[in-house]
Amino acid sequence: MQNTQKQIHLCDCNRSFSLDAERLAAGAGSLACHHALCGAELPALETDLAAGRDVFVSCTQETALFGELAESQQAGQRIHFFNLRENAGWSAESAQATPKLAALIAAAITLPEPEPVPAVQMRAGRSLLIIGEAGVALGWAERLAGSFEPAVLITQRAGEVELPAVNEYPVWSGKPMKLSGHLGAFELHWAQQNPIDLELCVRCNACVKACPEGAIGFDLQVDLDACRSHRACVAACSEIGAIDFARKDVARSERFDLVLDLSAEPLLKRVELPDGYAAPGRDPFEQALAVQGLGEFVGEFEKPRYVAFDAGLCAHSRSKKTGCTNCIEVCATDAIRSNGDVIAVDPYLCKGCGTCSTVCPSGALGFQFPRVPDLGQRVKTLLAEYAQAGGTDACILFHAAEAGTATIGRLARRGRGLPARVIPVEVWSADAVGLDLMLGSLALGACQVAVLAAGSHDAAPLKAQAGHGQTILSALGYTGEHLRIIEADADDWQALETALWSWAPAAAVAAPARFRLLPKKRETLDFALRHLVEHAPAAKAEAGLPAAIALKAGAPFGQVIASDACTLCMACTGACPASALRASGDSYRLEFVEKNCLQCGLCVSSCPESALSLEPRLLLTEDARRARALREADVFHCTACGKAMGATPLIEAMIARLSGHSMFATEAERARLRMCADCRVIDMMKTEPAVKAWDLSE
């Protein structure tokens, strides 16, 4: 790994943790250890940058200082940062952390930057919709008119409020019906309930003066409870024509870049709100913060397309029969919707939590920020370097870039830090860590995998994935707890400390796998499971490996069971998106390949006889890869000529359904149902009375 063009600078941050320079240099090459790199020893960094070397600095606290120094040397692309202090050094086991330090250094200097992710372009102008009670909404519109292009939708009256004297921005009134869209393209639909059309109104206040009940205020809203239908206001406005109590066309809609929703109940009720939409409620301070935040969204933006979608693998629907809806149910932003037989992902609404890819059984949705192969290569490198440096019982800790890093930092500063065997791996969102990453990491040599759910909207999908994985591992004879989802944030760092320091190492695979994790989820799972089964401790036990492992509902593995009600209509074979069910080409036989089954349920919902059911399990034998017969039947032959007509259960089911029809009331008529089409016509000609041409009169 020696490379004179790469210089590694480690800093123990004023001797606050131990660095074994000799052992680390043996594996990392050109390496220098410092005590105050951001202070007195800064010239050493400047010298290497000036010499044209690629510099790797083990400090993320002073990235601004070091980055400014690199820019002054026109070397901004040649300086790289990674964290050793919070991730390894600040720990009660700092003295034992050298293998982890070596692994983190190796990953930082050897792994290439991931390929760029396709981007989504977003653009937002200053068109701002303000929704709410008249006084507050108009008040904010007046204050923001100089920096935004406001429009106001008044949803209710509030005391003696007057419309602005100068008509410089749109003011409407009505009931919001639907708000959709995203930053730069919000669309509001509302119903105009006020008889006065404020778009036509010239604000002459003639209607206010003409109303005998005083039902019209200076906000030009009509109090319909006080109105006695004199219609004096209509007469006063006759020349303008802005007042109509019988208006039928009340539907209105407009598009906006930004939305400030001041309603007591927000129009959008989502776990994760779209960028450019703020619903601060009635608190003035929160409203001010929301307005400040909206100003930051004006301009042009680029964000990653977090999720890749392969429609060919989607198991959502077939022929209007619904199967898998996992991604739709867990999406926190409403970015996923049904789109016929597949789903549609709105990249403008998606914020990259990745839960959809975690719960997708087929891999049709793949998280790509970062991609699984890139993460797998990082895990593989970390585990290999950790073991080579003498480390044992490695535990991989996946954590979110923002919330997880903050929690680990708080633990390092205030608590015992991470145990020496716990290797943190940063991801954009912890929710995107699915079963393929969990089992793949164990196959690559980790004895345990933890997911820090800090920043997660809902840890339930993660726990379900870990539950399926742990069930499989326990059945294979791997003792201990291998998978753990830790719900803790920066304010509850003690929960992370307890979960990690009290966790006894579990049994690891005897020989780490050499394969790479693949882009396709099912292929990665297949490789990982085959490796874990090959080295399973249960195989050496007297009882041996079980033939199958029972799993809970929701698992992505299992079998389909066909009852005697199956007529071999083969509707299920057309519905199956994974080719797990298929019709035999040489006989009337329904075949099933268990390895392909997603347990999506499309076959069950498509079966007209309700003859199919699902059983989640993991079949360990080679039978999982072979086609086996679920249902087989003899051929039904025409009772008259012996011609093959179809599968016996299908013909018998048809006969049973038609036997009660008036066209088949007699035994002779019912007997024709067992004949082929040709014989049926011949029998009718022979036995049915018919009118002869010569018997007809004029």
**pLDDT tens digits along 583-615:** 987 788 899 999 999 999 999 999 999 999 999
Asked if residue 501 has pLDDT above 60, the reply is yes
- 27/20 Cα distance (integer angstroms): 12
pLDDT exceeding 90 applies to what percent of the chain? 80
- 578/592 Cα distance (integer angstroms): 11
Q: Quick check: 535 and 508 in contact, CB under 8 A?
A: no
- 341/621 Cα distance (integer angstroms): 33
User: Which residues contact residue 516 at a Cβ distance below 8 angstroms, ignoring those fewer than 6 apart?
Assistant: 373, 376, 377, 380
How big is the chain, counted in residues?
698
Look at residues 650, 515, 484, 653 and name the one whose alpha carbon lies nearest to residue 570. Answer: 650
- Residue 433: CB atoms within 10 A of its CB come to 31
Q: pTM higher than 0.75, yes or no?
A: yes
Maximum C-alpha span of the chain? 124
Question: If residue 178 lies in a helix (H) or strand (E), which one and from where to where?
Answer: strand 175-180
CB crowding 302-335: b at 16 or more within 10 Å, else e: ebbbbbbbeeebbbbbbeebbbbbbbbebbbbbb
- Residue 165: CB atoms within 10 A of its CB come to 7
Strand ranges for 463-572 from DSSP E: 483-486, 548-550, 558-562
- 500/409 Cα distance (integer angstroms): 15
Asked if residue 693 has pLDDT above 80, the reply is no
- 615/618 Cα distance (integer angstroms): 10
HSE-up of 583 (CA within 13 Å, CB side)? 14
Q: Quick check: 99 and 389 in contact, CB under 8 A?
A: yes
**pLDDT tens digits along 43-79:** 999 999 999 999 999 999 999 999 999 999 999 999 9
Look at residues 648, 655, 575 and name the one whose alpha carbon lies nearest to residue 612. Answer: 575
- Structure tokens belonging to residue 552: 């809970």
DSSP three-state, residue 34: strand
For helices 460-475 and 435-443, angle between their N-to-C axes, nearest 10 degrees: 40
Q: Quick check: 3 and 30 in contact, CB under 8 A?
A: yes
* Domain map (residue ranges) of the chain: 6-81, 122-302, 305-366, 370-537, 548-632, 637-687
Which CA distances in Å does 490 have to 358, 458, 493, 619?
24, 17, 5, 41
Per-residue pLDDT at 654: 82
Give the mean pLDDT of 134-144.
94
Per-residue pLDDT at 208: 93
Residue 645 dihedral angles phi and psi, to the nearest 5°: -115, -20
User: Hey, what amino acid is at 376?
Assistant: G
Strands 581-583 and 558-562: unpaired
Residue 106 dihedral angles phi and psi, to the nearest 5°: -60, -40
State the architecture of 122-302 in CATH terms: 3-Layer(bba) Sandwich (3.50)
- Structure tokens belonging to residue 486: 């830790």
- Model confidence band, residue 511 (pLDDT cutoffs 50, 70, 90): very high
- 495/489 Cα distance (integer angstroms): 8
Strand ranges for 405-486 from DSSP E: 422-427, 448-452, 483-486
**pLDDT tens digits along 612-655:** 999 999 999 999 999 999 988 888 889 889 888 888 888 888 87
Domain 305-366 and domain 548-632, same fold? Reply is yes
Asked if residue 376 has pLDDT above 50, the reply is yes
CATH topology classification for 548-632: Alpha-Beta Plaits (3.30.70)
Per-residue pLDDT at 3: 43
Look at residues 492, 478, 521 and name the one whose alpha carbon lies nearest to residue 403. Answer: 492
Q: Quick check: 521 and 436 in contact, CB under 8 A?
A: yes
Task: In the chain, count H helices and then E strands.
Answer: 21, 32
Which CA distances in Å does 670 have to 569, 656, 659, 677?
22, 10, 6, 14
Asked if residue 29 has pLDDT above 90, the reply is no
Per-residue pLDDT at 1: 38
**pLDDT tens digits along 313-322:** 999 999 889 9
Per-residue pLDDT at 692: 57
Asked if residue 559 has pLDDT above 80, the reply is yes
- Structure tokens belonging to residue 100: 């982890």
Residue 25 dihedral angles phi and psi, to the nearest 5°: -65, -30
**pLDDT tens digits along 429-471:** 999 999 999 999 999 999 999 999 999 999 999 999 999 999 9
Q: Does domain 305-366 have CATH number 3.30.70.20?
A: yes
Q: Quick check: 620 and 594 in contact, CB under 8 A?
A: no
- 334/180 Cα distance (integer angstroms): 10
Please, what is the average pLDDT of the chain?
93
- Model confidence band, residue 2 (pLDDT cutoffs 50, 70, 90): very low
For helices 493-501 and 403-414, angle between their N-to-C axes, nearest 10 degrees: 80
Rg (the chain; Cα; Å): 35
- Residue 474: CB atoms within 10 A of its CB come to 16
Q: Quick check: 404 and 426 in contact, CB under 8 A?
A: yes
Give the mean pLDDT of 348-372.
97
**pLDDT tens digits along 287-297:** 999 999 999 99
Per-residue pLDDT at 225: 87
pLDDT exceeding 70 applies to what percent of the chain? 98
- 98/84 Cα distance (integer angstroms): 11
Higher pLDDT, 400 or 5: 400
